[in-house]
Structure formats: structure tokens, C-alpha cells
């Protein structure tokens, strides 16, 4: 999962920072690769994943979210190998935005009658995902500090959560 996470992050970063020319073949290939990785992760999460990696393991519920917010306030969040409800919301939002970005990008390269709004939607979706990514990064740093845990290390090769 870490390889997928960093591959998607790198692909988004390359296209977002205009390291590729928008609409160019490399831009399109990176976008399709990112979408493919997200779809593979979703498929694997339903069919092959076990435990915390299974999609059903991190479906946020209102009661779980309220409970987690209480744990955050009191700094009693249990150490677990999975995402908390706030993190789960971020994951689902990220996956949805990535797939919509890929869909609107793909639609721009086709002779669709409604092409005009796709380029605008594509930019808006990229901006929305940029905001989600910034919140994600800030939350990882803030929660690492607040909970006194190395959440950053959990996503590095050879490390386990919170070590």
C-alpha cells in the first residue's frame, strides 16, 4: 500500500506542479496510471485485502467520528494499524477526486459535446484535491505532535505505524 500511496502522490505532484504539459501524452499517461492505481486499490480492498486494508474496515460512521473526536480532545486515541474516521473521510475524498480528475481529463481528449465544462471542472477538482492533500499533510504533522507518535514514519518503507 505504501508503494501505491507514494506512486499516486508522485503522479499527482508531477501533473499538479506542471512538470508535464497539461494535455500532453506524459500528462495523460500519468493521470491514467494514477486512476488505474486507485481502481486497483479499490478492487484489492474489496477482493483481496485483509484486516485494516480491507475497504469495509474504514467506512466512517457518525458515531465513530464523534467517538474519535472525543479521543482526540482527550489524547486517548488508541494506536492502531488503520485509519481513524477523519483519515478515512480523507481517503474516500481523495479517491473520489482522483477518479473524477481522471474522468474529466479523459473527457477533454474526446469529442464530447459538453467538452467546455470539463476543463473547468478538471481544474476545480485538481484545486479541491490540492486542498485535501494540504489538509492531509498538515493533519499528519499536527497529529504526530498532538499524540506524540511518529505517523510520518508509518508511511516510510521498513517502518510500522507509530514506531
DSSP letters for 69-83? HHHHHHT-PPP-SS-
| Domains of the chain: total | 1
pLDDT one-digit tens code per residue, 37-68:
999 999 999 998 888 788 888 888 999 999 99
Tell me if 161 is assigned to some domain. no
Q: Is residue 144 part of a domain?
A: yes
Higher-confidence residue of 127 and 109: namely 127
Distance CA 15, CA 28 (A): 9
Predicted confidence (pLDDT) per residue in 68-115, tens digit: 999 999 999 988 777 889 999 999 999 999 999 999 999 887 766 566
- Whether 162 is in a domain gets the answer no
Domain of 18 in residue numbering reads as 2-155
pLDDT of residue 163: 43
Count of C-beta atoms within a 10 Å radius of residue 31: 25
Residue 8 forms part of a structural domain: yes
Q: Does the residue 11 lie in any domain?
A: yes
Of residues 159 and 74, more confidence is placed in 74
39 falls within a domain: yes
pLDDT greater than 90 at residue 2:
no
Q: Is residue 35 part of a domain?
A: yes
Amino acid at each position: 500500500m505504501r508503494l501505491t500511496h507514494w506512486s499516486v502522490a508522485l503522479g499527482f505532484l508531477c501533473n499538479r506542479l506542471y512538470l508535464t504539459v497539461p494535455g500532453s501524452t506524459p500528462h495523460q499517461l500519468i493521470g491514467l496510471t494514477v486512476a488505474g492505481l486507485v481502481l486497483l486499490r479499490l478492487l484489492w480492498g474489496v477482493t483481496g485485502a485483509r484486516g485494516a486494508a480491507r475497504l469495509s474496515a474504514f467506512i466512517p460512521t457518525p458515531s465513530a467520528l464523534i467517538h474519535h473526536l472525543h479521543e482526540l480532545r482527550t489524547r486517548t486515541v488508541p494506536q492502531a494499524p488503520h485509519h481513524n474516521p477523519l483519515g478515512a473521510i480523507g481517503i474516500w475524498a481523495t479517491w473520489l477526486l482522483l477518479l473524477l480528475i481522471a474522468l474529466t481529463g479523459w473527457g477533454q481528449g474526446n469529442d464530447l459535446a459538453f467538452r467546455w465544462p470539463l476543463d473547468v471542472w478538471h481544474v476545480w477538482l485538481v484545486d479541491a484535491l490540492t486542498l485535501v492533500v494540504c489538509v492531509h499533510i498538515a493533519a499528519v504533522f499536527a497529529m504526530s505532535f498532538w499524540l506524540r507518535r511518529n505517523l510520518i514514519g508509518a508511511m516510510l518503507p521498513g517502518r510500522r505505524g507509530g514506531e
